[in-house]
């Protein structure tokens, strides 16, 4: 008889996370390179990546700081980009909420796109998992990816300024984000949210302090929520 | 090695790092750590569902249309690369395939047009 110990769930998490190696590796490398190009030294870059541990928010902050955006707006915008992890946290709570506080504190730090996406699917598929097994699986999903992200950032920061301009690294960030957004457009409401956000971002491009980002983001969120309500109403009346 | 011109000072940088570190952790901890198993308002969850697809496009759109590398002039290679990335991402739902297609389009066009 095979016993499904927490230990085996940890390794299962590691195995399931393997495809994300090809996302976290290049993404971390890119952050390291861009951070050094923006003028950060090795210590600053690594402190940034290890304390914040949120790729998209880190890139946003870096981009806005280079455009001389006021600090408060840099913070608000980068945290707005990271609002989705609050949703992940909310969504994981019914599954992990009963774990000891120190485990939940660690889990909070490690809540990122990859760990959330893998864990929520596994937890829904296997409702009989114990809390310990769930935590072990969650730990597995970041057991390889998190160290890889740190090391890739370090490698990128060390290569840094040696990368020639002809590599067009300026455009690596838009490409990486677009590639992340596309698979998220699962429902008409998600598509509407993205379209409203794009149109608003173009219209609000002239707004000072890069506030257009926050305005377009919130417009998109409200559009998505309203579209979801409208679609639900339509489905009910049909 | 050329000296990079830093657009911001040390105080700004460390304020941003500290603020983001605390803020990001707070966002992740608020529900799993504090809310526990209590229910959350549906209107809030409904908005939170769309944060990623609303805020990331708002960030990317100006970078695609007015790239800093060309001094803010719209650039055919970058626009085509963005379109290709999005199209492949939508069709394959594969992040790596989308990034690869976008990069190939960008380098191909920069080489041909450059």
Return d(Cα A68, Cα A145) in angstroms, integer. 32
HSE toward the beta carbon, residue A124, CA cutoff 13 A: 8
Smallest CA–CA distance, residue B75 to chain A, in Å, is 11
* CA-based nearest distance A1→chain B, Å: 34
Q: Which two tokens stand for residue A47?
A: 């402190």
A18 touches chain B (CB under 8 A): no
Domain span at B100: 54-113
In a domain, B107, yes or no: yes
DSSP notation for A175-191: HHHHHHHGGG--SHHHH
On chain B, the residues whose CB falls within 8 A of the CB of A180 are 52, 56, 95
| Residue A149 Cα, gap to closest chain B Cα (Å) | 16
A202 to B65: CB separation less than 8 angstroms, yes or no: yes
CA distance A84 to B48: 6
- Give this complex's ipTM: 0.84
Coil, strand or helix: which one is A111? coil
In sequence order, what are the residues at sequence separation of 6 or more whose Cβ sits closer than 8 angstroms to the Cβ of residue A89?
A: A108, A111, B27, B28, B29, B30, B31, B32
Average confidence (pLDDT) over A213-224? 94
Interchain contact, A175 vs B89, CB within 8 Å: no
Quick check: A160 and A36 in contact, CB under 8 A?
yes
Residue B72 lies in a domain: yes
The total domain count for chain B is 1
pTM, whole model, 2 decimals? Answer: 0.78
Looking at the domain assignment, is residue B88 inside a domain?
yes
- Residue A20 in contact with residue A146, Cβ under 8 Å? no
Interval B47-99: pLDDT, tens: 888 888 898 899 899 999 999 788 889 999 999 999 999 999 999 988 889 98
DSSP state of A18: G
Over the stretch A62-82, which tens digit does the pLDDT of each residue have? Answer: 989 988 899 999 999 999 888
């Amino acid at each position: 008889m095979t016993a499904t110990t927490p230990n085996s769930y940890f390794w299962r998490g590691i195995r399931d996370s393997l495809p994300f190696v090809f996302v976290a590796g290049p993404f971390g490398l890119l952050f390291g390179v861009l951070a050094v190009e923006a003028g950060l030294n090795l210590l600053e870059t690594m402190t940034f990546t290890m304390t914040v541990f949120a790729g998209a928010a880190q890139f946003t902050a870096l981009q806005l700081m280079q455009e001389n955006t006021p600090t408060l707006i840099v913070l608000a915008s980068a945290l707005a980009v990271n609002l989705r992890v609050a949703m992940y946290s909310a969504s994981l709570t019914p599954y992990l909420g009963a774990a000891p506080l120190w485990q939940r504190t660690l889990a909070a730090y490690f809540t990122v796109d990859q760990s959330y996406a893998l864990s929520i699917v596994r937890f829904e598929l296997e409702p009989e998992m114990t809390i310990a097994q769930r935590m072990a699986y969650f730990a597995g999903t970041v057991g390889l990816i998190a160290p890889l992200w740190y090391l890739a950032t370090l490698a990128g920061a060390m290569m840094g300024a040696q990368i020639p301009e002809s590599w067009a690294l300026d455009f690596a960030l838009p490409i990486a984000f677009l590639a992340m957004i596309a698979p998220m457009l699962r429902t008409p409401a998600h598509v509407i949210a993205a379209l409203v956000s794009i149109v608003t971002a173009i219209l609000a491009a002239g707004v000072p302090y890069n506030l257009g980002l926050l305005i377009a983001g919130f417009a998109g969120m409200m559009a998505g929520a309203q579209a979801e309500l409208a679609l639900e109403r339509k489905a009910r009346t049909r | 090695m050329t000296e990079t011109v830093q657009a911001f000072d040390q105080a700004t940088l460390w304020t941003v790092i500290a603020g983001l570190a605390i803020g990001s952790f707070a966002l992740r901890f608020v529900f799993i750590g504090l809310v526990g198993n209590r229910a959350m308002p549906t209107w809030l969850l409904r908005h939170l569902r769309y944060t990623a697809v609303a805020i990331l496009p708002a960030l990317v759109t100006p970078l695609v249309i007015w790239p800093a590398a060309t001094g803010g002039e719209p650039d055919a290679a970058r626009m085509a690369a963005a379109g290709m990335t999005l199209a492949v991402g939508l069709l394959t739902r594969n992040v790596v395939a989308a990034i690869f297609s976008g990069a190939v389009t960008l380098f191909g066009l920069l080489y041909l047009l450059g």
